[in-house]
Amino acid sequence: MNRRVLVVDGTGRGHAICDLFVRTDPTVTVYYGPGCAASDEPRIVSVPQIRLDDPATALDFLAVNPVEFVFVSNIDALSIGYADDLRAHGHQVIGPSRAAAKLETSKEQGKVFCVEHGLPTARYAAFNDPEAARKYVHEVPYSCVVKTDGLTPDGDGAIVCTTPAEAERAVSRFADAQGDDFHVVVEERLYGREISVFALLDGEDYLMFPTALDFKRTLEGDAGGNCDGMGSLAPHPDISPALVEEVRRVLLDPLMAGLRAEQLDYNGFVYVGAMLTADGLRVIEINARFGDSEAEAVLPAVRSDFTRLCDAVLARNIGQQQLLTDDLVRCTVALTQGSLDPLDPDAAPGWPFGRFETGQPISGLAEVDPALARVFYANVAQDAQGRPVSNGGRVLHVVGAGATLDEARARSYSQIAKVSFPGMRYRADIGVLRQPLTGWTPQALAEAGTPAVATLP
């Protein structure tokens, strides 16, 4: 039976999800809206007229192109109630409701959820008054992170501070930007290595996916501000069966129980950003979608038929499924649109913290050896002659796979060397681990491969 699905996204993560469908299910055709017009895979059909900010465009498409279900994996779409609208029109949808997506879009709601349902998280307070927030950062006996909802000029809405003076400045910056709408969460700064945890939920139960380590800082050496992520490793280098157990017990089981208790209509991927602290796992954020660029490193490992897993989500029996994965390490590196001329003070500074010039011709994609690395398209368009050009901040993700971390990294960078566009910028140290590993050994990694990561009881 030939199957048809629609994926709503337009990022490297979206491409990795479409690839997961077609790679694991030879019968499926994926419509991908808005997708990426530059991609030319026969069973991934981009639908540019579908807009992330307007579910009516998807409804128009579905009226003439019926599919079995729609997978909404983009937070911009989820946050405006895309999944709710499509469901209200009778479509089968995988993707959390607008109310459930607030766990990500409202920092305070995410924190309240953690506290009420027993997920360990950093101490915090929420403020509508900048003066009170400024006072608070001087009173608490620890360093602070100042957070607000949505994106900020400095990245993804969180300013990690060391001193009270820095935190005070962060509060003032948000106050200047937000005026009367000022609202921040100030929380205790945690220390340790972050871990990105993923699961596919059916509303009642979950199937854990492999973990990842995201490189969120914009510059080499983990310097610069937080951005959407410059690259990732999967599985997470600290993973072990014991850590998987702990993730389930401390994070995913309480999360699932909390969603049920609040009757939040949640199916689809959840992404818990956590920190491995000296006191154990702590939640940093709950996101209502897969991580980007973690998806590019995690999903290519999956061997299970993903259309069938989606069927199980819709039938609410994901708890009975197993996830088969390979036991390779993957290292994905984001190629971003940086400055066109670093020596020109008037040139656009580039992504993530400044203007950038899109439309730059991309060369070398055909030279990439698919046996060594996979390329996912994030912001790639076509020029009038049909050639690929850059079209946004993160342009491409290059994913090297290997038996070891070193091999995966080397493969990724060896293939990146073949690709170029004017202003291309990437971190040369994705996969370099600055903090000591807590328990990663080749044996632990092998155990974390097929199928142990996802099938522990």
Residue 158 site contact among ligand AMP, ligand GLY, none (CB < 5 to 8 Å, cut-off depends on kind): ligand AMP
What's the distance, CA 431 to chain centroid?
A: 17
Integer Cα distance of 267 and 194 in angstroms: 25
99, 38 in Cβ contact below 8 A?
A: no
At 322, give phi and psi (nearest 5°).
Answer: -110, 150
Alpha-carbon span 211 to 208, nearest angstrom: 9
| Interface with ligand AMP, residue 336, by CB under 6 A | no
* Contacted by 449, from ligand GLY, ligand AMP, none: CB < 5 to 8 Å by type: none
Residue 294 contact among ligand GLY, ligand AMP, none, beta carbon within 5 to 8 Å by kind: ligand GLY
161-170: Cβ within 8 A, 24+ apart:
161/137, 161/189, 162/189, 164/137, 164/138, 167/137, 167/143, 168/134, 168/137, 168/138, 170/146
Q: Is 173 exposed, middle or buried (0-12, 13-18, 19+ CB in 10 A)?
A: middle
Q: Candidates 87-95, 155-163, 308-316, 363-371 — which segment interacts with ligand AMP by CB under 6 A?
A: 155-163
- Interaction with ligand AMP in 278-317: which residues (CB under 6 A)? 284-285
- Residue from 399, 393, 306 nearest 353 by CA: 393
144: its two tokens: 């602070």
Nearer to ligand GLY, 229 or 388 (CB): 229
Q: Between residues 110 and 229, which has the closer beta carbon with respect to ligand GLY?
A: 229
Q: In whole angstroms, how far apart are CA 80 and each of 96, 153, 177?
A: 11, 22, 23
CB-count exposure of residue 59 (10 Å: 0-12, 13-18, 19+): middle
Decide if 323 contacts 329 (C-beta within 8 A). Answer: no
Q: Which stretch binds ligand GLY (CB under 6 A): 65-73, 253-261, 288-296, 409-417?
A: 288-296
Contacts (CB under 6 A) with ligand AMP, residues 261-280: 273
The interface region with ligand AMP, picked from 6-14, 132-140, 157-165, 402-410 by CB under 6 A, is 157-165
12 binds ligand GLY (CB under 6 A): no
Only segment of 61-69, 286-294, 382-390, 428-436 that touches ligand GLY (CB under 6 A): 286-294
User: Candidates 1-9, 169-177, 284-292, 306-314 — which segment interacts with ligand GLY by CB under 6 A?
Assistant: 284-292
Should residue 173 be labelled a site residue for ligand AMP when binding is judged by CB under 6 A? no
DSSP state of 227: E
Whose CB is nearest to ligand AMP?
158
**Contact status, residue 288 vs residue 101, Cβ threshold 8 Å:** yes
Name which of residues 195 to 234 contact ligand GLY (CB under 6 A).
214, 228-229
Residue 80 or 314: the one with the smaller Cβ distance to ligand GLY is 80
Report the interface residues with ligand GLY, using CB under 6 A.
214, 228-229, 287, 291-294
Report the interface residues with ligand AMP, using CB under 6 A.
122, 145, 147, 156-158, 160, 187-190, 194, 216, 226, 273, 284-285
